Amino acid sequence: MLPRYYTVKDYGEHEIVIQKSRFIAHISRAESETEAQDFIQQIKKKHWDATHNCSAYMIGENDHIQKANDDGEPSGTAGVPILEVLKKKHLKDTVVVVTRYFGGIKLGAGGLIRAYGKSTSEGIDATGVVERKLMRIMHTKVDYTWLGKLENELRSSVYTIKEIHYLDLVEIETYVEEEQTQNFTNWMIELTNGQGVISKGEQLYLEEDVEK
């Protein structure tokens, strides 16, 4: 699992008009090729009357699945420019469909490349990008006498408290980046003079919005 990567928030849609042609970008997250293909078919069904529904997607930790489709536009003028925007923005597990309703004015190869690239870029900006960080939930069990100190220290640190359980011992669950788990453990041991019991919990990704 990657320690961190960028992807789109969820579903987004954005329309621009170039030389009377409408370009509607549809953006979604897709964690498999099946999901990406299903999304493309869904948009094609919705916009069955469009001139073109061009698409591209990039999936996998190492971007090992990359596909682009011009859907009737001149070869290399639609799908590839969409895919290039995904690469430039370093987005993983993302699928884009740009729907075009022809407005009667031909754009030429260069104009099409710019139009599909711009539509994709603006569509992604409108949808929003997140950074997904691989976190480990760390469990710290201590006597109640340590709670005030630990809570204050954690809230002023780089770590985020997930939850506090008030049982026989107080248990604090904290989100810690995977590569920081040993540092966190050492820090907790130091803060509690070795009286805390620290253990690793589940792994999961947390998402943070990325500023444009």
Query: What is the domain-level CATH number for residue 116?
Result: 3.30.230.30
Residues 167, 95 share a domain: no
- Give 94's strand partners: 29, 58
Amino acid at 45: K
Average pLDDT over the chain reads: 96
Residues 111, 9 share a domain: yes
Mark which of 127, 153, 186 sits at the end of a domain.
127
Residues 139, 53 share a domain: no
Mark which of 112, 127, 142 sits at the end of a domain.
127
- Give 140's strand partners: 172, 198
Print burial letters for 191-212: b (CB count within 10 Å at least 16), e (below 16).
Answer: bbeeebebeeeeeeeeeeeeee
- Smallest Cα–Cα separation from 115: which of 105, 130, 127, 128? 105
- Tens of pLDDT, residue by residue over 26-43, are 999 999 999 999 999 999
Does pLDDT of 197 surpass 80? Answer: yes
Long-range contacts from 103-110, C-beta under 8 angstroms, 24+ separation:
103/17, 103/19, 103/20, 103/21, 103/22, 104/20, 105/19, 105/20, 105/21, 107/18, 107/19, 107/21, 109/74, 109/76, 109/77
Q: What percent of the chain has pLDDT over 90?
A: 98
Mark which of 127, 156, 177 sits at the end of a domain.
127
Domain that holds residue 183: 131-210
pLDDT given for residue 212 in this prediction: 61
Q: Can you give the pTM of this predicted structure?
A: 0.88
- Tens of pLDDT, residue by residue over 108-167, are 999 999 999 999 999 999 999 999 999 999 999 999 999 999 999 999 999 999 999 999
Residue 161 maps to which CATH number?
3.30.70.240
